[in-house]
Amino acid sequence: MDFELTEEQRMLQDMAKNFAESEIAPHVEEDEKNEHWRREIFDKMAELGFFGFSIDEQYGGNGMGFLEGALAIEQVAKVHTSWRMAFNMQDWGPALTIQKFGTEEQKQQYIPKFVSGEYVGNFAMTEANVGSDVAAMTTHAEDKGDHFVINGSKMWITNGTVADYGLLYVNTAKGAGAKGITCFIIDYNLPGITRTKIHEKVGLWASDTAEITFEDVKVPKEAVLGGPDYLNKGFQICMTQLNATRLGCSAGSLGLSGAILEASVAYANERTQFGSPIGRYQLIQQQIAEMKMEHEALAAMVYKAAWLKDKGLPNQMETSMSKLFGAKAVVHAANECMKLFGSFGYSLEYPCGRFLRDSKQFETLEGTSNMHTMIVANTALGYAPNRV
């Protein structure tokens, strides 16, 4: 067992840290206030190769895998958690999924453009009435012989108003549940698509979230991811995609947990009450010790899940463990941080409020904590296999 990063991984980590601190940090407050998804940051991330982890070099990949991707996401999320989303929306969402299931033509046509940032990407499965039970989705694509016509709507879609192309999961066989889902590569410029930004979310203020409606949207047959063989096989694609993008979530929670820990330690050393820095008091030490232990345990879980993925070993349970534990650890840390900062924690001048708001995403996005509890328990109990 080796707990050391390679020189290349350390360099990447430093590069991501420097980028986040110099290019993202100066805009955090303004972009949070204005709910602004800043294109320049996205373009710079693309330029740095941040959207090419786990992607074959022939399609523009950066030659690095999940572990390196997790390290980069961690550093970016530490500075501004909204930007952890971009990795999933480009790389481990559309690009990697097309690499796994797409036809050669689709791979060549789309992957390099998601990786280079020429296409802003996303993925859409959730609907207003369909969240955890993905198979129950009602947005429907009707087969018209030489094309499909899509009707319905998707809700809570990240990059909803800014995406050029994305993965769209819809029903193609009414009443067939999981056996009637198909994944399309959707062109968001098609007529009949309306995108409405969702404002006033609890957190992730600089991440774009939208409702998207499809009204008689005519899509070509070639838009089916993987071609005709994958018609009605989108549920499997969706689960495979989620197992990759969930690691992006876990790495994001690790980054935020690191930011909270760092801010809490600094404040505990700097704030004096009763003649001593508050960090000298045992009750504060208990808070710091818990944050630190949970942060380290989370790091081990995230890196291990990433390592298993890079090795091509079963990892679904470990990915869910990192996602579930990440949510618990980061919400706990954000809560403790707010208490530790006293009234200043309650002020918007300090980042504690943002930490708490942004921490709550991890309990819901990419599968709720209940869903991940079920995956972990069912695998541990032997009711379901641990999948690659």
How open is the CA angle 56-58-64, to the nearest 5 degrees? 35
State the angle between helix axes of 352-359 and 316-340 in degrees (0 to 180), rounded to the nearest 10.
150
Nearest to ligand FAD of 310, 366 (CB atom): 366
Min dist. Cβ of residue 87 to ligand FAD (A): 13
Residues 233 and 251: their CA atoms lie apart, in Å, by: 29
Min CB(220)–ligand FAD separation in Å: 23
**366 classed as catalytic:** yes
Q: Exactly one of 110, 156, 184, 205 binds ligand FAD (CB under 6 A); which one?
A: 156
Least Å from the CB of residue 156 to ligand FAD = 4
Please, which residue, 103 or 240, has the CB nearer to ligand FAD?
240
Site map (CB under 6 A) of ligand FAD, residues 98-137, x = contact: ------------------------xxxxx----xx-----
Residue at shortest CB range from ligand FAD = 131
CA 277/CA 268 separation, integer angstroms = 6
Q: Which two tokens stand for residue 316?
A: 């679904």
> What are the tokens at 153?
């709507």
Give yes or no for residue 370 binding ligand FAD (CB under 6 A). yes
If the CB atoms of residues 157 and 291 are measured against ligand FAD, the closer one turns out to be 157
Residues 6+ apart with CB under 8 A from 157: 122, 123, 124, 126, 166, 209, 210, 211, 212
Q: Are 123 and 170 in contact (CB under 8 A)?
A: no
Q: Which is nearer to ligand FAD, 347 or 370 (CB)?
A: 370
> Please, what is the minimum distance in Å from the beta carbon of residue 21 to ligand FAD?
25
Give the footprint of ligand FAD on residues 282-311 (CB under 6 A).
none
Q: Which residues pair with 277 in a beta bridge?
A: 272
Question: Rule CB under 6 A: is residue 196 a binding residue for ligand FAD?
Answer: no
Q: Give me the residues paired with residue 147 across strands.
A: 220
Distance (Å, whole) CA 96 – CA 137:
23
For ligand FAD (CB under 6 A), the number of binding residues is 21
Name the minimum Å distance from CB 131 to ligand FAD: 2
Residue 137 Cβ vs ligand FAD, minimum distance, rounded to whole Å: 9
95 part of the interface to ligand FAD, by CB under 6 A: no
**Cβ proximity to ligand FAD, 195 vs 221, nearer residue:** 195
Which token pair is 159? 């990059």
Q: Does 368 bind ligand FAD (CB under 6 A)?
A: yes
Instruction: Identify which of residues 304 and 357 has a Cβ nearer to ligand FAD in the complex.
Output: 357
Using CB under 6 A as the binding rule, the residues of this chain from 203 to 232 that contact ligand FAD are 204, 209
How many other CB atoms sit within 10 Å of the CB of residue 337? 24
Q: Which is nearer to ligand FAD, 62 or 316 (CB)?
A: 316
Q: Residues 69, 92: contact at Cβ < 8 Å?
A: yes
**Residue burial 223-250, b: 16+ Cβ < 10 Å; e: rest:** bbbbeeebbbbbbebbebbbbbbbbbbb
Secondary structure E strands in the chain: 123-124, 140-143, 147-158, 165-171, 181-187, 193-197, 209-220, 272-273, 276-277
The owner of tokens 């098609």 is 190
Q: Which segment (13-21, 277-285, 305-313, 362-370) binds ligand FAD by CB under 6 A?
A: 362-370
Residue 125 and residue 134 in contact, taking contact as beta carbons nearer than 8 Å: yes
Dihedral sign of CA atoms 83, 85, 87, 89 in order: negative
Residue from the set 36, 100, 179, 201 that interacts with ligand FAD by CB under 6 A: 201
Closest distance to ligand FAD from the beta carbon of 120 (Å): 12
Which residues lie near ligand FAD (CB under 6 A)? 122-126, 131-132, 156-158, 201, 204, 209, 361, 364-368, 370-371
Active site residues: 366
